[in-house]
C-alpha cells in the first residue's frame, strides 16, 4: 500500500472516528437531557427543553388546564377524563387527576402502585408545573396544574409520560461514557500513529542507518525488502546501489591484489636471469674466466640469459597489452587446414632436429574457413608446441596435430607424449605465471605466460581453449574456433578476387 493511501486512510479514519464519536456524544447528551431516545428529533427545539411533553401532549394538557381553571368540577366527570386519557395514550402519555389525597383518575397504563407518593405536593401558585420524577427505577416526566374545586378542595391534573430507563442510566453514566469516548478517540489515534510509524517512519530510520553504514564504508549488510510501496522501492534502489558499490569495491580489491601479484611475479622472474648475468660478469671481472674456453662459455651464458630476459620482457609486454585489450586483431578469412599446414612446415625442421616426430592428420577433403589473426594464431600454435617440446621426457618423442570440424566450429588438438600435467594443475595452467612445477620449469626458462597469452588470443577470436592430460603419458591441448559464416565467406571471397 502506498504511503499516500496510508496517510489518506489514516486521516479519513481519524475523521470518521471523530464524526462517529461526535454523533454518539450528541446522542448521549440528548438522551441524558431529554431522557428518551425517541425524542432525539425534538432535541433542538428549545421549548422542549423546558417542556417534558410533545407538542400534541402539551396542547391536550393546555385544554385540561383551561378546564381546571374555568370549570374545575368538569374534571369530576369520569367519561371526560377517559376521553382525554385516550387522546393522551395515543401520544404515549397518560392522565392522572387527584383531589386532596384521593386519586380521582389514574390511567390504566400506569402499573405503579407507588406513583401516588412520588407525585409532587400541591402548589396552588403553580410555580413549577413541569418536572420529572422516579418510581422504582422507572423514570417519568410530567406537566401538572394545581387548582381548587368549587367546594374549595385542592385538585391536580397531571399529564405524565414515561421516559426510557436508558435515559436515566445515560444521565448517571454520562461522565464515564464521555471519558470512554475520549479514550476510544485517543486509542484510535494511537493505533493509527503506531501503524504509520511502523510502516513509514521505522523503515525510513532503517534506510538512514543503512546510509550511515555506507558512509562509514561498511557495505556488508542487507536491506530487507518487505513491501513494494514507495519506501520499498527506495529500499530496492538503495539495495541495488549497495550491491553495485560492493561489487566495485570487490573488483578494485581484486585488481589491486592482481597488480601486487603481477609486480611480485615480474620482479621475481626478472631477478633470476639478472642475478645469473651479474654472477658471470663478476666472474669475468675477477679473472675467473682465465682461459679463452672459459671466457667463451661465460659470454655464451650471459648471452643466453640476456635472450631469456628479452623473451620474458617480450612476453610480459604482449601479455599486458592483450590484457588491456590494446592489441588490435587483424582478422582474415583463411582455411584452417592450410594455415596449420604452413605452421607445421615451418616448425618441422626445427622439431625434427630435436628428434621429435611430428604428425598431422588434417583430413584434406574440404576447406575449413575461419576468421584468424594469422600472426597471433601462429603464436598460439608456437606456445603450445614449445610446451610440448619443453615438457617432453620420452625417448620416442612425438607431437600429433589433428583437426575436427562440425557444422559450426572447428577444433584443433595438439597432442604430445610428454610428462603430462597433474590433475589438480590442469585448471590453472592458463593462468599467468602459473607453472605446474615451478622449480623445474624455471630452470628451463618458462615464464608461465605462454598459455596465458594463448588463452588471451583465443578469447580475442571468440573461441575457447582447454587441456586434457594423463600424467606420465602426455597432454592434449585443444582450441575451438567458430567457423566463418557463409555471408562472411562470400564477401571475403569477392574481396580476394579483386
Binding site for ligand ADP (CB under 6 A): 383, 387-388, 390-391, 416, 418-421, 429, 434-437, 441, 446-452, 475
| CA angle (304 as vertex; 298, 309 as ends), nearest 5 | 125
Q: Which position has the grid cell 471523530?
A: 18
For ligand ADP, the closer CB: 161 or 397: 397
CA dihedral 247, 249, 254, 255 (to 10 degrees): 110
Q: Minimum Å distance from CB 265 to ligand ADP? A: 12
The residue from 450, 469, 474, 479 that contacts Mg ion (CB under 5 A) is: 450
Among 35, 52, 446, 474, binds Mg ion (CB under 5 A): 446
CB of 457 to ligand ADP, least distance (A): 13
Pairing outcome for strands 138-148 and 474-482: unpaired
Sign of CA dihedral 380, 385, 389, 391: positive
Q: Does position 405 bind Mg ion by CB under 5 A?
A: no
Cell numbers placing 488:
562472411
Residue 107 contact among Mg ion, ligand ADP, none, beta carbon within 5 to 8 Å by kind: none
CB of 119 or CB of 392, closer to ligand ADP = 392
Distance set, CA 152 to CA 72, 73, 100 (Å): 10, 11, 10
Secondary structure of residue 332 in the 3-state scheme: strand
Rounded to an integer, what distance in angstroms lies between the CA atom of residue 414 and that of residue 402?
Answer: 7
Q: Using CB under 5 A, pick the residue from 141, 387, 405, 417 that binds Mg ion.
A: 387
Q: Cβ neighbours of residue 301 under 8 Å, at least 6 residues apart?
A: 276, 280
> Based on CB atoms, which residue is closest to ligand ADP, 227 or 314?
314
In the complex, minimum distance from the CB of residue 375 to ligand ADP, in angstroms, rounded to a whole number: 19
452 binds, among ligand ADP, Mg ion, none (CB under 5 to 8 A by kind): ligand ADP
Q: For Mg ion, how many residues bind (rule: CB under 5 A)?
A: 3
Name 371's bridge partners. 333
* Distance (Å, whole) CA 129 – CA 124: 10
For residue 498, the SS3 value is coil
- Candidate ranges 45-53, 184-192, 269-277, 382-390; the one touching Mg ion (CB under 5 A): 382-390
Q: Which is nearer to ligand ADP, 75 or 351 (CB)?
A: 351
Is 418 near Mg ion (CB under 5 A)? Answer: no
Binding window for Mg ion (CB under 5 A); candidates: 75-83, 361-369, 399-407, 445-453: 445-453
Query: Closest Cα partner for 147 from 139, 137, 157?
Result: 157
Shortest Å, Cβ 386 to Mg ion: 6
Q: Which are the contacts of 466, defined by CB distance < 8 A and separation ≥ 6?
A: 477, 478, 479
Provide the mask over 252-291, with x wherever binding to Mg ion is found by CB under 5 A and - wherever it is not: ----------------------------------------
| Binding segment toward Mg ion, per CB under 5 A, in 87-95, 153-161, 298-306, 383-391 | 383-391
From the list ligand ADP, Mg ion, none, partner contacted by residue 351 (C-beta under 5 to 8 A by kind): none
Residues 6 or more apart from 432 whose CB is under 8 A from it?
Answer: 262, 265, 319, 448, 449, 452
Nearest approach in angstroms of CB 418 to ligand ADP is 4
In the bound state with Mg ion, the residue whose beta carbon lies nearer, of 52 and 450, is 450
- Chain residues that interact with Mg ion, rule: CB under 5 A: 387, 446, 450
Amino acid at each position: 500500500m502506498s504511503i499516500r493511501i496510508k496517510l489518506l486512510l489514516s486521516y479519513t479514519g481519524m475523521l470518521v472516528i471523530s464524526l462517529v464519536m461526535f454523533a454518539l456524544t450528541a446522542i448521549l447528551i440528548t438522551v441524558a437531557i431529554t431522557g428518551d431516545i425517541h425524542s432525539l428529533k425534538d432535541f433542538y427545539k428549545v421549548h422542549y427543553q423546558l417542556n417534558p411533553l410533545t407538542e400534541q401532549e402539551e396542547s391536550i394538557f393546555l385544554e385540561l388546564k383551561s378546564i381546571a381553571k374555568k370549570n374545575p368540577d368538569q374534571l369530576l366527570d369520569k367519561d371526560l377524563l377517559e376521553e382525554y386519557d385516550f387522546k393522551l395514550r395515543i401520544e404515549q402519555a397518560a392522565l392522572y387527576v387527584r383531589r386532596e389525597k384521593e386519586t380521582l383518575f389514574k390511567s390504566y397504563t400506569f402499573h405503579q402502585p407507588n406513583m401516588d407518593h412520588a407525585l409532587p405536593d400541591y402548589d396552588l401558585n403553580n410555580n413549577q408545573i413541569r418536572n420529572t420524577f422516579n418510581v422504582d427505577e422507572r423514570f417519568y416526566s410530567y406537566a401538572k396544574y394545581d387548582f381548587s374545586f368549587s367546594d374549595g378542595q385542592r385538585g391536580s391534573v397531571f399529564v405524565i409520560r414515561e421516559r426510557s430507563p436508558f435515559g436515566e442510566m445515560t444521565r448517571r453514566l454520562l461522565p464515564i461514557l464521555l471519558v470512554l469516548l475520549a479514550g476510544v478517540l485517543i486509542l484510535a489515534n494511537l493505533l493509527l500513529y503506531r501503524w504509520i510509524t511502523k510502516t513509514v517512519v521505522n523503515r525510513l530510520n532503517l534506510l538512514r542507518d543503512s546510509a550511515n553504514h555506507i558512509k562509514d564504508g561498511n557495505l556488508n549488510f542487507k536491506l530487507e525488502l518487505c513491501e513494494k510501496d514507495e519506501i520499498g522501492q527506495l529500499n530496492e534502489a538503495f539495495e541495488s546501489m549497495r550491491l553495485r558499490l560492493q561489487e566495485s569495491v570487490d573488483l578494485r580489491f581484486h585488481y589491486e591484489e592482481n597488480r601486487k601479484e603481477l609486480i611480485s611475479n615480474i620482479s621475481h622472474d626478472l631477478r633470476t636471469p639478472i642475478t645469473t648475468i651479474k654472477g658471470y660478469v663478476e666472474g669475468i671481472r675477477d679473472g675467473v674466466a682465465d682461459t679463452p674456453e672459459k671466457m667463451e662459455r661465460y659470454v655464451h651464458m650471459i648471452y643466453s640469459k640476456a635472450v631469456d630476459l628479452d623473451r620474458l620482457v617480450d612476453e610480459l609486454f604482449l601479455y599486458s597489452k592483450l590484457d588491456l585489450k590494446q592489441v588490435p586483431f587483424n582478422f582474415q578469412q583463411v582455411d584452417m587446414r592450410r594455415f596449420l599446414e604452413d605452421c607445421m612446415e615451418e616448425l618441422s625442421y626445427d622439431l625434427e632436429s630435436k628428434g621429435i616426430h611430428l604428425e598431422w592428420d588434417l583430413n584434406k577433403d574440404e576447406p575449413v574457413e575461419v576468421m584468424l589473426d594469422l600472426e597471433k594464431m601462429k603464436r598460439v600454435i608456437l606456445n603450445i608446441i614449445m610446451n610440448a617440446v619443453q615438457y617432453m621426457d620420452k625417448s620416442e618423442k612425438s607431437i600429433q596435430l589433428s583437426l575436427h570440424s562440425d557444422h559450426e566450429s572447428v577444433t584443433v588438438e595438439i597432442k604430445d607424449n610428454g610428462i603430462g600435467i597433474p590433475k589438480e594443475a590442469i585448471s590453472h595452467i592458463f593462468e599467468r605465471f602459473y607453472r605446474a612445477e615451478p622449480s623445474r620449469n624455471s630452470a628451463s626458462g618458462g615464464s608461465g605466460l605462454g598459455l596465458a597469452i594463448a588463452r588471451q588470443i583465443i578469447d580475442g577470436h571468440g573461441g575457447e581453449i582447454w587441456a586434457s592430460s594423463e600424467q606420465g603419458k602426455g597432454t592434449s591441448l585443444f582450441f575451438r574456433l567458430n567457423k566463418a559464416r557463409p555471408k562472411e565467406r562470400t564477401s571475403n571471397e569477392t574481396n580476394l578476387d579483386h
